[in-house]
Amino acid sequence: MPDNSRLQRHVGLAIAYSAWKFYESTGEIGYLVEEGAELIIQIARFVASLATHDDTTDRYDIAGVMGPDEFHDGYPDAPGEGLRNNAYTNVMAAWVMLRAVDVVNVLSPRYADQMWNRIRLRPGEVKQWRLIGSRLRVPFHADGVISQFEGYERLKEFDWAGYRARYGAIGRLDLILAAEGDTS
């Protein structure tokens, strides 16, 4: 089974989340100045660079990702090419971009010179993070439930009964499917 973990953008997002939570829990501004701010801002820059604007809906999309379920790495007709608008990835990306805005607000103006020389904050970046973070698409099913990713509801239902009949315990379904060469 091919390893497409390179498409997992949510890992960096989780690191940024931890950095912000550490600052929030401790109130250590020194941590934010020395390490946390740069980490959060660079991750916000990265995910903002992945987002593309849809003029029709005035939303932003992130395509070509693999979510944290570590199994859906693409659509049935394009395995390994990533998914479009993975809910977890997009929610966390929006969160990180909005926390990057918060970081700038917390550190301005007292720590601005110390930080912005190192991070090289560009004109319009904060505005861009705020815009993308508030307009990033999160897919929903028709009944209002968040969809795992765009197109999830069109996937064929898994044959749970058939696999239980063939294998009994399917607690490690990932290994069963990998042994069968099934990545869809």
ω before 68 within 30° of 0 (cis)?
no
Is 28 marked active-site? no
Q: Closest Cα to residue 22, out of 12, 10, 35?
A: 35
CA dihedral of residues 75, 78, 74, 53 (deg, nearest 10): -90
Q: Annotated catalytic residue: which of 24, 34, 70, 180? A: 70
Radius of gyration, alpha carbons of the chain: 20
Structure tokens at 179: 């042994």
Positions marked active-site: 70
